[in-house]
Chains A and B, each alone.
Chain A
Amino acid sequence: MSDRILRSAAAVTLAGLVAFGAWAWCSVIDRTHGRWSPQAEVGGGIDHFADDTLFVSTSTRGVLPVVVRPETAITNVVVSDTVGAPGDDTVGELRPGRFVVARGHPVAPGGPLVAATILVFGPGQR
C-alpha cells in the first residue's frame, strides 16, 4: 500500500476524529450554562443535591467504594477538604467537566457493589 494512500486515509481519519470529538464534547455540554449536563442519575443510593459542594467519604484517593454510574457527570462541584482524614480523601480535583468515577469491586460478578458513601450537598439543602 502506497504512502500516499496511507497518508490520505490518515488525514481523513484524523479529521473525522477531531469532528467526532468536538461533537461529543458539545453534546455533553449544557449549552445554556456552559456546564456539563448530568447524563443520568447518580446511582448507588447517593444523595444528589444542588451540585455545589461535594463531600466524599472514600476508601482512598480516587477510589470510591460507591457506585456512581459511569455515564454520570457531577456538575460544577467544589470539593470541601474540611474533613481531611486519610480515609476521607477527596476524589482528586473535581471540577466541571470531570466525572466522578467509582472504583470498587462487586461482591460477586454481576452482583451488588459495596455501599454508597458519597454525599452531595447544596447550600441550604439537606
Chain B
Amino acid sequence: MKRALDRPSEIDSQDQTKSVDAIDAVWALALAGAAFGAYLATLTPGLAYEGGDGPELTVVASTLGLAHPTGYPLYTWLGWLATHVVPLGSLAWRMNLLSATLGAAGVGMIYLVARRLPMHPVPAALAAAAYGVSTTFWGQAVITEVYAPNVFALGGTLWLALRWADGVARDPVPARDDRRFAFFALAYGASFGMHLSNLGFAPAYAAFALLIDPGILRRPWSVARAVLAFLLGVAQFAWLPLRAGFNDTFPNSAPQDWTGLYRYTVGTFATEREALPIGNVPAQFARYVALVVDNFGVAGLVLGLAGMARLARVAPRRFWLLFLMWAMAVGAFMRTFLLDVDVFFVASNVVVALFVGAGLDAVRAGIVAATGRSRRAARALSTAAAVAAIVVLAGAGRASWRANDRSTDTALGDFYAAAFEMVPPQSVLVPAGRGAFGSAAIYWRLAHGGRADFVLASDRGLPPPVDRPLTFFAQTTAPPGLERPWSPRAAAFTHVLRGARRDLVLYRLERDTVPEPWPPPDRMPGAGTLVGGSITPVKSVRPARVHVRALWKVVGEMPIVTTRIGDVTVEAHRCAGAVIATQPASRVVQEDYDLIVPSQLPNGSHPVALGAIDYQDGRIAVRWAPAGDAVIE
C-alpha cells in the first residue's frame, strides 16, 4: 500500500525529517515568553472596552454560563479555570490574561508548525514573531476575546496534523500513525469550542489527510477511531442545551432542541453569508489585501506570495493544506457581510505568517544557492537578511505596541463604578444593548459586589415593573435605540454622567415628558461658545467625578463640545442641554452632568477646560476655555 508524503527537495535532510527537538522547544518557549511579556505590558487592566463581547464572556466564564452564539464551550471552561485559579487581579483582568497567555502560546505554536513545514529555524522564528507583532492579533491578545486563544487551538491542531504527516513519512507502521491521526481529530473537534469558524478548515484537513495517506480509507477501524475522536471533541457542544436556560437575554433562539442548537452554532449569522453581490468580489479582495498589508506590510505580502511558491515546490502537500485553509477563509469573506472584518482574519493570518516564513526561507535558500560553496559568504548574507528582517519586525512591533497598548484603559470600569454609585435605590438601570452587549453592568454587580437595591434591566431578562413610579437610567449611545416594550414612553433623556467613551453616558429618563427631537446624526453641527459655567468636585477618590455646569451660546444646530482634563481630552459629545434663552440668531443652552475623571491620571489637581469644536472653513479646531479643576487623591 503506497503512502504518499511530501519530499522537500531543497532543504537538507536533517530538517526534513527530524522531529521537534529540545532546541525547537526552547525557541518556541522563548518566542512565546517574549510575546507574553509584550502582551502583559499592554494588557487591559480591567473590563475590556474594545471588543463588545468581553464583559459577557467574563461573566459567562466565571459562572459557567452560556456564551452568545456559537457558545464557545471550551473557551468558557478555560475561562472558568482562569478566573478561579489565577490568584491575582479582577475577574476581568484574569480573562484578559487568558488571552495574553494563550495568544503567546499560539505564537510559540506557529514556530513549531513552521518547523514542520519544513522551515529553517530562523525564518520559522521570524514568521512567528511577524504574527506576534501583527496589529490585529496583538489587539486581540490584550482583551477578553476568543480570537487570540483560538490561535493556540489552531496552531496546536496544525502541529498535530503535521506531526502525523511526518510520522507517515517516517514510520512504516500505520497503527502508530493512525493513533496520531485520531489525536489530531480529537484536537480539531475540540478547537470548535474556541471558535466554530475552525469548521471551515475541514476540507483542507480532509484533502491533506488523503494526500498524505490515501491508504487510510482502506483501514476502516482507523477511520472510525478518528471520527469518534473528532465527535468526542465536538461533544462539548452538549454544554449548550445543558446551559440553555442560563442566558436568556441574548436575542437568539435558545439551543434547547436540535433546531435551536443548529441555529445557535453552524446556523448562526446565516443572513450575513452571501449577503454581498458577486460584483463586489474585486473590492472585497482588495480590502483583504489591504488588511494583509496592515498586518504584515508590503514586504510581508510579497514574501507571502514567494513563500506560497516556495512551499508548493518543496512540500506540495503541505502547501495545499495551508493554501486551502487560506482560500476557505478568504473565499468566505468575498460575499459575507462582516462588521468586525479584521478579527475575521486572525486565524487565517496564521497561514499568511507561515507563508511569509516560507518566503524568508526562500530568500535564505536563494542566498545559499547564489553563494555556491562559500559558506562564509552564505552565512554573512543570511545573517544580514535576518538582521534586516528583525529590524523591520522591531519597527512593526513598536507601532503595534503603541496602537494596542490598553494598559491605561479604565474607561468601562470607571463608568460602571460611578454609575452604580449614582443610581438611586428602587430605580432601573438599562445598560447599553442586550445579552452580550449589556453584560458590563452584570459583571460589575457580580464581580464587585455591586448594589442590588435597583433593577438591572438586562440581568437575566428581569422585566422591570413598569407600573411603579420608578426612575429609569439608561446607558446608551442614542436614546432612540432604547426601544423596549417596557421602557417609558415619551421620555426625555437627560445625561447625568459622562465617561471617557462616547457611549459611556448615563441618562435619566424623564417620564411623561415629550422628548426633544434627537438631532439626526448626519446633520452638521453648529457653532458653540462657552459663556459661563463651573466645575464642582463631587468625589476625589478613584473613580473621581466632577460636576460640569456649562452655558453654551449656540448658533445653528447643537455643536459638538468637548472636555479636557490636564492634557487629556476625555470626551466629546453633541451638546444636549436645556435651552434657557432664545435670541434671534442664537440660543443659550445649559448642560449639567457629572464627568468621570479618568483613573489613569495621576494624583493631584488637574485643570479642566471645556471646548466647542469649530468646523469652519473645512478645518477642525477646538476653542478651549478654562472652567475649573479636578482633584484625584
Interface of A toward B, CB cutoff 8 Å: 1, 3, 6-7, 10-11, 13-14, 18, 20-21, 23-25, 27-28, 39, 45-47, 52-53, 55, 57-63, 65, 70-71, 73, 80, 82-88, 92, 97-99, 101-105, 107-110, 113-117, 119, 121-126
Overall SS of chain B's interface? mixed
CB–CB B618/A123 < 8 A: yes
CB–CB A86/B500 < 8 A: yes
Distance, CA A27 to CA B287, complexed state (A): 12
* Contact stretch, chosen from B174-182, B334-342, B531-539: B334-342
**Binary interface profile of B, 555-598, with partner A (CB < 8 Å = 1, else 0)?**
00000101000001111100000000000000000000000001
Q: Which residues of A contact B434 (CB under 8 A)?
A: 107-108
Q: Which residues of A contact B572 (CB under 8 A)?
A: 57, 83, 85, 87-88
Chain B residues numbered 210-261 whose CB sits less than 8 Å from any CB in chain A: 211, 214, 251-252
Q: Which of A1, A58, A86, A113 contacts B4 (CB 8 A)?
A: A1
Distance, CA A1 to CA B284, complexed state (A): 34
Interface of B toward A, CB cutoff 8 Å: 4, 6-7, 49-52, 139, 211, 214, 251-252, 271, 276, 280-287, 289-290, 294, 305, 308-309, 312-313, 316-317, 319-320, 323, 337-342, 403, 411, 433-434, 436-437, 477-478, 480-481, 483, 499-504, 520-522, 524-525, 560, 562, 568-572, 598, 613, 615, 617-622
CB–CB B280/A6 < 8 A: no
Q: Can you spell out 17 A-B residue pairs with CB atoms less than 8 angstroms apart?
A: A1-B4, A14-B312, A39-B280, A46-B521, A55-B615, A58-B502, A70-B280, A86-B569, A86-B570, A87-B411, A87-B500, A97-B286, A98-B294, A101-B341, A109-B252, A115-B480, A124-B617
Least CB distance from B482 to A in Å reads 10
CB–CB A107/B433 < 8 A: yes
Q: Which residue of A lies closest to B252 (CB)?
A: A109
Which of A6, A18, A104, A116 has the most B CB atoms < 10 Å from its CB? A6
Least CB distance from A117 to B in Å reads 6
Q: Which of A6, A60, A97, A121 contacts B290 (CB 8 A)?
A: A97
Q: Which of A10, A24, A104 contacts B286 (CB 8 A)?
A: A24
CB–CB B618/A122 < 8 A: yes
Q: Which residue of B lies closest to A88 (CB)?
A: B572
CB–CB B521/A115 < 8 A: yes
Q: Which residue of B lies closest to A42 (CB)?
A: B522
Q: Which of A10, A71, A101 contacts B319 (CB 8 A)?
A: A10
Q: Which residue of B lies closest to A106 (CB)?
A: B339
Q: Which residues of B contact A11 (CB under 8 A)?
A: 312
CB–CB A23/B570 < 8 A: no
Distance, CA A23 to CA B285, complexed state (A): 10
Q: Which of A23, A71, A87 contacts B502 (CB 8 A)?
A: A87
Known A-B contacts A3-B7, A10-B312; the reply to A83 vs B271 at CB < 8 A is no
Known A-B contacts A3-B7, A10-B320; the reply to A70 vs B337 at CB < 8 A is yes
Q: Which residue of B lies closest to A113 (CB)?
A: B339
Known A-B contacts A85-B569, A114-B477; the reply to A45 vs B522 at CB < 8 A is yes
Least CB distance from A84 to B in Å reads 5
> Besides the contacts A10-B320, A121-B615, what 19 more A-B pairs have beta carbons closer than 8 Å?
A1-B4, A1-B211, A6-B316, A6-B320, A10-B312, A24-B281, A25-B286, A46-B522, A55-B620, A57-B502, A57-B560, A85-B570, A87-B570, A88-B502, A107-B481, A107-B483, A116-B522, A117-B477, A126-B615
Q: Which residue of B lies closest to A45 (CB)?
A: B522
Q: Which residues of A contact B49 (CB under 8 A)?
A: 59-60
Distance, CA A102 to CA B290, complexed state (A): 15
CB–CB A7/B342 < 8 A: no
CB–CB B285/A20 < 8 A: yes
Q: Which residues of A contact B338 (CB under 8 A)?
A: 70
Q: Which of A6, A53, A80, A85 contacts B211 (CB 8 A)?
A: A6
Least CB distance from B560 to A in Å reads 8
Distance, CA A52 to CA B562, complexed state (A): 23
Q: Which residue of B lies closest to A71 (CB)?
A: B280
Distance, CA A28 to CA B499, complexed state (A): 40
Distance, CA A102 to CA B317, complexed state (A): 38
Q: Which residues of A contact B618 (CB under 8 A)?
A: 52-53, 121-126
Least CB distance from A20 to B in Å reads 7
Q: Which residue of A lies closest to B503 (CB)?
A: A59
Q: Which residues of A contact B503 (CB under 8 A)?
A: 59, 65, 87
Least CB distance from A10 to B in Å reads 4
CB–CB A86/B283 < 8 A: no
Q: Which of B283, B504, B570 contacts A71 (CB 8 A)?
A: B283
Distance, CA A109 to CA B284, complexed state (A): 23
CB–CB A105/B433 < 8 A: yes
CB–CB A24/B282 < 8 A: yes
Q: Which residues of A contact B289 (CB under 8 A)?
A: 21, 24-25
Least CB distance from B34 to A in Å reads 24
CB–CB A6/B305 < 8 A: no
Q: Which residues of B contact A85 (CB under 8 A)?
A: 500, 562, 569-572
